[in-house]
Chains A and B, each alone.
Chain A
Amino acid sequence: MAAISREEVAHLARLSRLAVTEEELDTFAGQLDVILQAVAQVGEVAAADIPPTSHSVPLTNVFREDVVTPCLTPQEALSGAPDSEDQRFRVPRILSEDVAS
């Protein structure tokens, strides 16, 4: 049995903000199925009582003094932006016509 269906991959693509093509969906569904079946091996390890490791360095709450230091100018910060206006990143509309009116 497949670990993941084509429909599930289409859903993942939407969640991932990837406008994948129908052809890609066919390819990815097969490939992700192979990968998922392989990585599911982690389930074979008896680890119910084992604490998870998210990070190998045991550092928590690293603070620094709150001092003013030189930083990027607005012009530098916006230098790579696809679009900008009035020292701000310019984005496509985020509200639909209905909501905006």
Chain B
Amino acid sequence: MSDLTRMTATEIAALVAGGETSAVEVTRAHLDRIAAVDDRVHAFLHVDTDGALDAARAVDARRAAGEELGPLAGVPVAVKDVLATRGVPTTVGSKILEGWRPPYDATIVQRLRDAGTVMLGKTNMDEFAMGSSTEYSAYGPTHNPWDLSRIPGGSGGGSAAALAAYEAPLAIGSDTGGSIRQPGAVTGTVGAKPTYGGTSRYGLVAFSSSLDTPGPCARTVLDAALLHQVIGGHDPRDSTSIPQPVPDVVAAAKLGATGDLTGVRLGIVSEFVGEGTEPGVMTAFRESVDALAKLGAEIVEVSCPTFAYALPAYYLIAPSECSSNLARFDGVRFGLRVGDDGNRSLEEVMSLTREAGFGPEVKRRIMLGTYALSSGYYDAYYGQAQKVRTLITRDFTAAFERVDALISPTTPFTAFPIGARTADPYQMYLADLFTIPTNLYGGPGISVPCGLSEGLPVGLQVMAPTMADDRMYRVAAALESAVGTFTPPAL
């Protein structure tokens, strides 16, 4: 049997279904790979060896009993540590939740279990998903498998690195401002942010509730689509969940893989191909645009002038929502409690707990949000940002009257060295310049590997209208069929 860890999820599922390998064998191969490389990559915060092998045995038993297995049965998956997993530590990359074992599963985790996938463990992330490099994890950074001295993107750097290091064929991320797509781009993997409301937030530790969107990560577009189909769809436990079926993303990925984009109109976002983007990224992007044109796509440039204000609007809206959401970390119901000596008041204990439990980026954002929501500043900051959000949505709507999907580089630059941007928080924010507009609008976006720049991966982003997730999968799969996938140097 060739190396199981190098296979796609589609290939693994077929081998398990056909009895050519077992889920246990597949799981062992990935656990061995994690044991061999993760001390250098640090993609995982927790490896659930026993739980994974138990889940794998259950899949093998079901197959032996002649049960019908789902399309991803027996396939290992790594889950970002932002989702609640029953009995399995869930930290959100923060000291404030160290040691917490949730008494329930997030809906997405439940759906993964029901589908017969095998959860390998929980992946590293920037604390509370606030960051673009995974350097803000309270448990140390994750290293990019392409170059261990560089960042794997963030906040979902652990999930993306686990894929690129062949520790898992599938992973779950969450995308509030680019936390699935940007790590995908800089690790040469595929990351999709579904339409907001297309995937359940039940059991997702909240950062910015109007933007948070869990989604699939994989090494191929078809694998991402299969995972999207398993985790997506209406959840009565999330009142913002859209009560409509998931668009047929799997069929769209298969259609795209035929390499025919005849009749598809794609718009390059003019504002994102200017001077702020690294030359190597622009070269890979331009070559991919040529490839898309050769596949039959009609390419035009589309101007979305308000996108220039997406980053400032986001850094008012997201911190405002976070300052409210993170109030629940009060040292009462779960997690850390510091300074409770019998004499201190609740308020003092709360302040000491939050001071000890939160890292610097989380504190900055809580204070920034508290400021933006303060009486006297609300209209100029939070209120104005919400109006800009309306204008960004109007730019998207107008663009989608002219084109089927928008494209851009996923990030302005490739993976930067660890430590290069931590001194100046705003420099870190710029990593999400091209991914943020989609979150404010609520539509879907996907990053697909499109080339290399000085040996480092570059991603191309496809953005589609709300609930037209299938469209982005078609374009991404077509590009993948033209440019292929990219393999990092051996670890």
Contacts and interface: CB of A to CB of B under 8 A. Distances in A.
Interface of A: 4, 8-9, 12-21, 24, 27-28, 31-32, 34-36, 38-45, 47, 50-57, 59, 62, 64, 72, 76-77, 79-83, 89, 91-94, 96
A6 to B, nearest CB: 12
Given A51-B390, A57-B442, 6 more contacts: A9-B367, A18-B358, A50-B391, A52-B389, A62-B240, A82-B337
B379 to A, nearest CB: 10
Dominant SS among interface residues on chain A: loop
Nearest to B362: A18
Given A34-B426, A39-B312, A89-B332, A28 B363 contact: yes
A72 B333 CA distance: 14
A86 to B, nearest CB: 15
B118 to A, nearest CB: 25
A24 B236 CA distance: 43
A89 B331 CA distance: 10
Contacts of B366: 16, 18
B102 A80 contact: yes
Contacts of A62: 239-240
B313 interface: yes
A48 to B, nearest CB: 8
Contact of A35 (B313, B347, B426, B440): B426
Given A4-B371, A91-B332, A59 B239 contact: yes
B387 A57 contact: no
B387 A32 contact: no
A80 B352 contact: no
Contact of B336 (A38, A82, A93): A82
A27 B364 CA distance: 10
Interface stretch (B15-23, B264-272, B279-287, B338-346): B338-346
B387 A45 contact: yes
Contacts of A57: 196-197, 240, 242, 442
B395 to A, nearest CB: 12
Dominant SS among interface residues on chain B: helix
B95 interface: no
A83 B340 contact: yes
Contacts of A96: 345
Nearest to B330: A17
A18 B306 contact: no
B386 interface: yes
Can you list the 8 inter-chain pairs with the closest CB atoms, starting with the nearest? A56-B442, A52-B386, A82-B337, A80-B334, A47-B387, A76-B103, A19-B351, A19-B355
Given A32-B364, A53-B393, A92-B345, A83 B337 contact: yes
A16 to B, nearest CB: 5
Given A19-B352, A45-B391, A51-B390, A92 B333 contact: no
B370 interface: yes
B240 A92 contact: no
Given A80-B333, A81-B333, A43 B380 contact: yes
Nearest to A64: B236
B468 interface: no
A45 B394 CA distance: 14
